[in-house]
Structure 1
């Protein structure tokens, strides 16, 4: 690379613990943008199938965006899985015959089968504290420590996560959740809800996101019981928890996962948006993407005291913070009583002015180019 004119490598291989067709979030926003300029390959975690020959399913989604899904035989032990994944990765690298790679890690566990390669640039986008999630592999902490030693540049998904990681790397940068502002702004203009939601009458409170160990089941149950006239809309897949463990009632509506393109239409029918996360290890460092998305949709928001919601959203009076069902009810009733939200919306729009995935993408590229420049300068000295 000419250190006077640095450029990014032309090929990017992203190791992701989240499937491309799961909830549309940080990896999808960023990788779809990188695919405008680079050849982007997303390697998902394996699917285990009975009586199958191990292979890599290749799904070309766009001219420069390809999803790679390993299919492994069910019943493999961990050592067999690592060996097989390494073999599939080697075959892929040989078949593509490409050089000049960026390796982009969302899951440190991928190091177990990829650490024998030396990429031109290694990026660790640490979007969550994965070791705090239920069913996290016991090797995850060690793998993350290794990745923090070998990565050229590290990004974190929020300020609280950055605080605990910043001493572990000398080139680490915070990039909190961003928004596709134009997309969620549609909720302010559209006048038609989807039929399944339009048929529900009354005050509508809503949540969009994965329903898992982070979701405060008791909080939602208590709000639903204390305010039966309020309708609670829950949009998102149920993961790692049983549907039987979730509260039910005539004013609780589980819609499951909905297409990303349809979300503004659902949001347009809500009166208040909720962030009902439990305060536990799995939420200690999260920076919910839904916070700026709700605000871009023009919705008042009530959240539990998540650190990256309190600062900056709570401190700036953009989001109401509540610790229990009674506080949620008070905050919701107060928000519902406001007739003129013009000044609040102006404040929201001013805050969100530079908060976009496009800006995040461009700023990340600058950090990556700077890293390559500094590395090449060091090698040339």
Structure 2
């Protein structure tokens, strides 16, 4: 079986759930993949320019990720930045003629599965045009929550229409599972995971120097700066190391023990994580984070790190797990350092976590081919 994958992120970005899904598909089925890069699905904003510049700072290195595989073809849709305006689908359809023809030609060769990683007018048109093949919607975010006003309403409506026109629906978090609980077909829970194959051996000793509370990821409007500042002040003997692009600046001068490290390629980030004493996930609790299952949780745990997180999204269900500390603005943050020191996982625990939470294990459990084909 072949695969057409409409991705929410470009192929030439760092490996995320879409890349891992495609790599899993190809490894398990050994057939061709037609990857379709995303295009703008909301009106442009001035802040987009800064994000493009920030991504380009690390994307050159990430482009080294194999992209010329014989089994992979990457298409980049042409479009005007007018979605979700009225008539945008009809207008952009004129620019999608060549792409649509390539998809139709690809699908006609042999049995093919269509997977949608992000709602869009293009995705909706392809599900309708190829209604006779297995169609999967992989809901990995509450995309409408990232938008505002009319764009948010239009994204929600478009997503509902796509969900109603697929033969299988995956949900990456419990909140998304509940959101689509009334959908036909019923959603299947498929949490995020991590690329265990790129991690160092589970037996590598953790850094034993000055305690480091570390975070790797984007710092945007979902990042709880006040809580992180309080954490640093309450633990002056630690380093709070934040690695990633900063789109939401701190609201006040930072304590001296907070370090800001620029974004870097993922392999370098993994190396820096090995120097952490604990992994931070300090997200605000709001509509934007309510459906999130953070991949960094799996990476931290797979490296044998304890996790310090707020009670957002899927993390709200993990407060009783060994090695997970849930915090908020009322928590006694001074006691965290001792909790971190007390967490000493057995080697077998780390290996079992990796085995159960690799991308291959996650997607194997879904039984994609059987479920999608049977619908």
Verify: 1:216 aligned to 2:224, yes or no: yes
Q: Mapping of 1:125-204 within 5 angstroms?
A: 125-135=138-148, 137-186=152-201, 189=204, 202-204=210-212
Give the number of the structure whose residues are more often strand, by fraction. Answer: 1
| SS state at 2:314 partner | helix
2:136 to 80, 101, 123: 123
**How many pairs were matched up?**
342
- 2:268 aligns with 262
Where do residues 1-381 of structure 1 align in structure 2 (5 Å cutoff)? 8=1, 10=2, 12-36=3-27, 37-46=30-39, 60-72=67-79, 78=85, 82-83=89-90, 85-95=92-102, 97-98=105-106, 99=108, 100-110=111-121, 111=123, 113-119=125-131, 120-135=133-148, 137-186=152-201, 189=204, 202-238=210-246, 241-243=247-249, 248-311=254-317, 313-324=318-329, 326-336=331-341, 338=342, 341-343=344-346, 346-364=348-366, 366-372=367-373, 374-375=374-375
**What's the RMSD between the two structures over aligned residues?**
3.2
TM-score (norm 1): 0.78
Aligned partner of 2:59 in structure 1 is none
What's the TM-score, normalizing by structure 2?
0.79
Cα separation, 1, equivalents of 2:299 and 2:178: 24
Task: Tell me which moved more, 284-293 or 258-267.
Answer: 258-267
User: 1: distance between equivalents of 2:83 and 2:143?
Assistant: 23
Greater mean alpha carbon deviation, residues 148-157 or residues 256-265:
256-265
> Cα distance, 1:73 vs. partner?
5.6
1:161–1:250 CA distance, 2 compared to 1 (3 A): same
SS of structure 2 residue aligned to 1:269: coil
| Unmatched runs of 5 consecutive residues or more in structure 2 | 45-65
Q: Which runs of 5+ in 1 are unaligned?
A: 1-7, 49-58, 194-200, 376-381
Cα offsets for 1:149-208 (capped at 9, x unmatched):
1011000002232123222233421011112224334475278x9xxxxxxx83211111
| Partner Cα separation in structure 2 for residue 188 and residue 84 of structure 1 | 56
Secondary structure of the residue aligned to 1:108 is: coil
> Any idea what the Cα deviations from partners look like across 1:285-319, whole Å, max 9, x if unmatched?
211111121011011111111342243x3223231
- In the aligned structure 2, how far is the partner of 1:190 from the partner of 1:342? 11
Report the CA distance shift for 1:144/1:20 in structure 2 as closer, same or farther (over 3 A): same
- Distance in structure 1 (CA, Å) of the matches to 2:250 and 2:340: 32
> What SS does the aligned partner of 1:138 have?
helix
Q: What is the rounded CA distance, in whole Å, between the counterparts of 1:247 and 1:177 in structure 2? A: 35
The structure-2 alpha-carbon separation of the partners of 1:95 and 1:20, relative to structure 1 and needing over 3 Å to count, comes to closer
Distance change >3 Å, CA 220–CA 20, structure 1 → 2: farther
Tell me if the contact between 2:243 and 2:263 (Cα under 8 Å) persists in the aligned partners: yes
Q: Pick which of 229-238 and 213-222 moved more.
A: 229-238
Q: Is the 8 A contact 2:12 2:67 kept in 1?
A: no
